[in-house]
Structure 1
Amino acid sequence: MPGLVAECREWELTLGDGPVIAAAVHDGHGMRAALQPYLAIDTATRRRDEDPLTGVLTSVGDVQLRVRASRFEADLNRPRELAISRDPANTWGIQVWDESLPDVEIERSLAYHDRFYAMVRRLMDAAIDRFGQVLVLDIHSYNHRRDGADAEPADVKGNPEIDLGVTTLDHGRHGRLLERFSDALRSVPLQGRTPDVRNNVRYDGGGHFPEWLYSTYGDAVCAISLEYKKVFMDEWSGQADIGALYDMRDGLRAAVAAARPELSA
């Protein structure tokens, strides 16, 4: 039913009638109470490697999926075996969990990972059955000031304002859609200038979520992972730049509008 909101502690799903699904799987900060005593990082550090405010951008989708649970409870953009880990090598050198984290809590987190993918499978089956092909926007953000609040930001050469991850996209079928999508993103100013939009700059391999979509549904799904540089917020203080965030939303809305005719073609 269009407009239906299905929600649980871990995610919120708003169902509309259309072929564009916008997902922010790293937007959340929630953590179930039983896990909190075993966290080895503070709140500020955890927030810095989450993707706050990306849920705002899901408003461009016919279907909007916003995950409320932190990526550290279980990372939905990683395969099951890496979704929660005690090993800092799997989390950018950050010690997320105390070594005493019980196996039973890890299993509960993995069960949440399983439930999420079961839900997405039902969602995708229904959307593909209705529309034939579906555009999935996998929305993320990334840090570019990791050396500290007062340090120089990362070199722009390797850090576009919008990095489109399209490693699973079938260019034979969806290349024209990607072209229209990218051109429309560039047409809407971000902080008063033309945004730097490039493909596959920061991540030469796609995340697990788009890879799973492609392996499960093939070219019936056009998956685009959007990595927004955190120019819309101060990644150290957490203070948001609402104007920049709205610019990003307007640009993404224009990109979706430009891509729609290619879905129905």
Structure 2
Amino acid sequence: MNKMSIRQILSKIEHEETFHAVADDYSFSIKIDDYVPYVCAAVHDGHHFDKRLWAKCLHTEYDRWYEEDPATGTMISMLPITIIAHDSRFEYDLNRDPKNAIYETAWGKNLWKSPLTEDEKNRALEKHENFYKVILQLIVKLEELFGTTIFYDLHSYNRKRWDRQIPVFNLGTSNVDQVKYKMDIEQWQEILGKIDLPIKEKVSCEVNDVFQGNGFFLKYVTANSQNTLVLATEISKVYCDEETGVIFPEVVHALKDKLKYYIQSHAYRYYDRHHTYDQ
């Protein structure tokens, strides 16, 4: 993996080059092993938190980890096109629009001992902007090549926050065309509901149960594409102990193996359906 500027990354995509890169500020990494009509993203995987902000932050490292989506980048790492965030959402949230990307409060608690300076805010928002420059270039190039694209937007959620039975997987579809993509959503729900994982819980997948798919990443891709579906795919944190921060590697590896197979299978069915439809 090479360190590259945003300009270099954009040029690689424009010229349809395969590459592995980390942004030169280490805010995210991108891998393109092959140009295919699907992309996997983990925008909340990041845990890096700028040391210059440590003294100002009221939340502990564990508080931040609890609200991030650890290991989601690992889960998609075997797919041919991945983009994985490395910075914590507590510095800037890639799943929020720029005006709301920097938290003042987080989950009912003030985040900062003293307000961030304009320089601190601008530094964070520049990274937010650069990430979406790359996303836009990906959308344009893949729709140019294939006519239709699908993004798998992977997140996780805390089980202990809920006082009811929650599904292992949740799809958020409230901001996508649920008529045009009805079969794609149903197929993805069926696939996820049947995944075999080394956990005690019965695996299930619901649509718009825990979350509805209101994130900025989904909305941005949808608004800036002509024929692209984003599937906001959430997994409950069955792969870790939320109270201790211990990751269960056997569950993460099972998810990585299963998602490699099932995402490719689902993506090509999606492509066959919509590519034929659009001709």
Q: TM-score under structure 2 normalisation?
A: 0.84
Identity of aligned residues (%): 26
Residues 136, 169 of structure 1: CA spacing in aligned structure 2 closer, same or farther, 3 A cutoff?
A: same
Cα distance in 1 between the residues matched to 2:264 and 2:103? 39
1:103 and 2:103 matched? no
Mapped contact 1:58–1:65 kept (Cα < 8 A): no
Mapped contact 1:60–1:256 kept (Cα < 8 A): no
Read off the aligned partner of 1:188 and give its amino acid letter: I
Cα distance in 1 between the residues matched to 2:115 and 2:96? 23
Residues 189, 205 of structure 1: CA spacing in aligned structure 2 closer, same or farther, 3 A cutoff?
A: closer
Cα distance in 1 between the residues matched to 2:64 and 2:44? 12
1:212 and 2:224 matched? no
Which of 176, 188, 199 is 1:169 aligned to? 176
Mapped contact 1:31–1:73 kept (Cα < 8 A): yes
Which of 21, 44, 56 is 2:39 aligned to? 21
In structure 2, what is the equivalent of residue 149 of structure 1?
none
In structure 2, what is the equivalent of residue 36 of structure 1?
54
Cα distance in 1 between the residues matched to 2:155 and 2:172? 10
1:142 and 2:157 matched? yes
Mapped contact 2:20–2:31 kept (Cα < 8 A): yes
Q: Give 3-state SS (helix, strand or coil) of 1:34's partner.
A: helix
Q: Tell me the CA shift for residue 231 of structure 1.
A: 0.7
- The more displaced of 8-17 and 33-42 is 33-42
Q: How does 1:112-127 map to 2 (within 5 A)?
A: 112-127=127-142
Extract unaligned runs of 5+ from structure 1.
147-152
Q: Tell me the CA shift for residue 81 of structure 1.
A: 0.8
Extract unaligned runs of 5+ from structure 2.
1-15, 274-279
Q: Give 3-state SS (helix, strand or coil) of 2:77's partner.
A: helix
Read off the aligned partner of 1:101 and give its amino acid letter: L
Which of 224, 233, 244 is 1:237 aligned to? 244
Which of 185, 201, 206 is 1:178 aligned to? 185
Residues 205, 13 of structure 1: CA spacing in aligned structure 2 closer, same or farther, 3 A cutoff?
A: closer
After superposing on structure 2, the runs of 4+ consecutive aligned residues of structure 1 that deviate more than 6 Å are none
Post-superposition CA distance 1:102-141 (Å, at most 9, x none) = 2220121111111111111111111111111111011111
Post-superposition CA distance 1:199-251 (Å, at most 9, x none) = 11122352111011111214x11101111100100012111112222332344
1:203 and 2:217 matched? no
Cα distance in 1 between the residues matched to 2:216 and 2:70? 20
Q: TM-score under structure 1 normalisation?
A: 0.88
